[in-house]
Amino acid sequence: MFEKLSSLFKGKPYDAQKDIAQSGDIHERLKLAKSKKTNPEILYYLADNDADPAVRRAVIANMATPIQAASSLVRDPEVDIRMALADRLLNLWPEIEDDAQSQAYAYAVQALGVLALDEVIQIRQRLSEALQNYSKAPRGVIVTLAKDIERQVSEPILRYCISLPDEDLADILSDHPEGWVRDAIAGRAHLSADISDIIIEHEDIDAGHILIENESADIRDATLRKIVDKAQHIPEWQKPIAKRKELPPHLAIDLAKYVQHTVRETLIRRTDFDAQTIKNITSAFDLRLENEFVEDIEFVDRAPEGNDSDKPEIEQKPSPQRAYARTLDKTPGTYEGDNIDEMLNDAILRGDKVDIVGILAAKTGVAFDEMEKIVGHNSPKSIVAVCWKGGFSMRSALSLQQNVMQVQAQNIIYPRGGTEYPMSQKDIQWQLELLGID
């Protein structure tokens, strides 16, 4: 090696450095490895041949070490040396990223490519965390990291690296089974319409939700139509699509045909729709409710007196809303999780006392008429106990006291700590017994 390159480094200093590199003691070699005056060829030799890790480590830290030395150090048996090399290359990258024709660029890309496949996850993770921020990161290295099976390696690239092309994103979406991969891609800034299409086609609930909320993502009108159609069976998409700025008025009207009250409120409060669109949204929503209520009308066969005994009479409930409330009354336990609080608060927001009573009755198993009496008593303790029994939050119990029962401020029972029920379970059970609720 020295014979091949010696013509580039003639003179006594070079010969002295050569002797030290080949036969000097550890202290001499370390001094040589650290000196900025050491010839680049000597530093390359130390990186490739010195048996002491401390010397090779010093070579990496020396800014005079040529980039060519990376081809040897990239396979160094010492993990910390390969990590140090990764840091050196990453620090160098901003200086060479615009000169793709240079020798330094070629050596750096080659070394980064090897490190991107390193068996030590921390090294690959270090590359990922740094290269995610570069708009001109080398494609081969980026794709390797993006396809890494370890989430902490691939996720930063999938989520943030703008140099990852659409064709590679499409391949990753088609080949990678993990949901977090779709989540990461769905949240990318300025996501293309093609990739948005692929994510929606997967019908991944979380990824779709992230995409719809991603304001910088490009979503075609045809894809918005798919989202509105699919959202009928994916409730998690309804509210974010109702907020989406690009949602056309005709799709907003279609959305109103099946969404819950809170989503309807989101639609009609939009300032970018004209008055006629808001009116059409309201009409579509009301028509859907009316159709649902009509389905619940009871047909009761009677045997009236007189000659018309063969003709059945129809007994209708007092109002469509009460029909809905009684339907809830007959199906306790239908609504689970946070949805029950959302449903109750929707009814409170509308001031629909019949629905409020029906929802409370449905979740507690109490008959509608009995629950109507309980609510009518305007007793704070009673409503707190009823909400606890039905699985509602204490915040809902507070809203009922303030907005439905009109309890005076000094008598309102407030949540403890902002969310917790203030009454003990023993007191609640005693209150339920007074109300005749098991």
Dump pLDDT digits (tens) for 331-345. 444 444 447 788 888
Q: What is the average pLDDT across 241-259?
A: 93
Range of weakest confidence among 41-55, 148-162, 314-328: 314-328
Q: Is the pLDDT of residue 240 over 90?
A: yes
Range of weakest confidence among 123-132, 155-164, 297-306, 340-349: 297-306
Q: What is the average pLDDT across 139-164?
A: 95
Range of weakest confidence among 145-154, 243-252, 360-369: 360-369
pLDDT computed for residue 13 by the predictor: 83
pLDDT computed for residue 22 by the predictor: 92
Contact criterion met (CB below 8 Å) for 195 and 211: no
Residue of higher predicted confidence among 339 and 167: 167
pLDDT computed for residue 7 by the predictor: 44
pLDDT tens-digit series, residues 192-226: 999 999 999 998 999 999 999 999 999 999 999 99
Q: Is the pLDDT of residue 312 over 50?
A: no
Phi, psi values for residue 317, rounded to 5°: -70, 160
pLDDT computed for residue 262 by the predictor: 80
pTM, rounded to two decimals:
0.64
Q: What is the average pLDDT across 36-47?
A: 93
In this prediction, residue 309 has a pLDDT band, given cuts at 50, 70 and 90, of: very low
Work out the percent of the chain whose per-residue pLDDT is above 70.
85
pLDDT computed for residue 11 by the predictor: 41
Report domain extents, the chain: 325-435
pLDDT computed for residue 372 by the predictor: 87
Range of weakest confidence among 258-267, 269-278, 306-315, 365-374: 306-315
pLDDT computed for residue 289 by the predictor: 64
Q: Is the pLDDT of residue 43 over 70?
A: yes
Range of weakest confidence among 71-80, 264-273, 274-283, 286-295: 286-295
CB atoms within 10 A of CB 132: 21
Q: What is the average pLDDT across 158-178?
A: 91
pLDDT computed for residue 48 by the predictor: 93
pLDDT computed for residue 428 by the predictor: 92
Looking at every residue in the chain, the average pLDDT score rounds to 85
pLDDT computed for residue 291 by the predictor: 60
Q: What is the average pLDDT across 94-118?
A: 93
pLDDT computed for residue 288 by the predictor: 67
